Amino acid sequence: MHQLFLSERYPPDMGGVAASAGRISQALAGLGVGVDVIAWTRSLQPGVVVREDGNPTVYRMGRYREWDTTMPHSLNLVDWLAGTQAFNAVWGHYLSPAGFLAAWIGRMKKIPLPIASRS
């Protein structure tokens, strides 16, 4: 089983979203699920992707100022990843933007999608 995990923040980023994304993706990996994480960051130039090997494998992607520009580049990365590994599920960590993109990817690729949200 292999899962795509999308999160706006991921450790070592600060905050609850990053902490819970790290905790959940590592728990899935600990259960034997292969996990590929896409996390957007402003610490990289827009569009630049840096891969951190392991399980989970983390792809940090430099985000553009506007999400309208970031999303097409994110979809290109997803298409490339899907060409190297079939995903059984896509996880959107919180509703926006990760949940939105997960729903879009799940619909396009016809794969299940859990979305985590909290108020």
42-94 residue pLDDT tens: 999 999 999 999 999 999 999 999 999 999 999 999 999 999 989 999 999 88
Whether domain 2-116 has CATH 3.90.79.10: the reply is no
Q: Is the peptide bond before 56 cis (omega within 30 degrees of 0)?
A: yes
Is the overall model pTM greater than 0.95, yes or no? no
Q: What CA dihedral angle connects 80, 84, 85 and 91, to 10 degrees? A: -20
How many whole angstroms separate alpha carbon 32 and alpha carbon 27?
A: 9
Domains of the chain, residue spans? 2-116
Give 3-state DSSP helix, strand, coil % of the chain, rounded to 5: 40, 25, 35
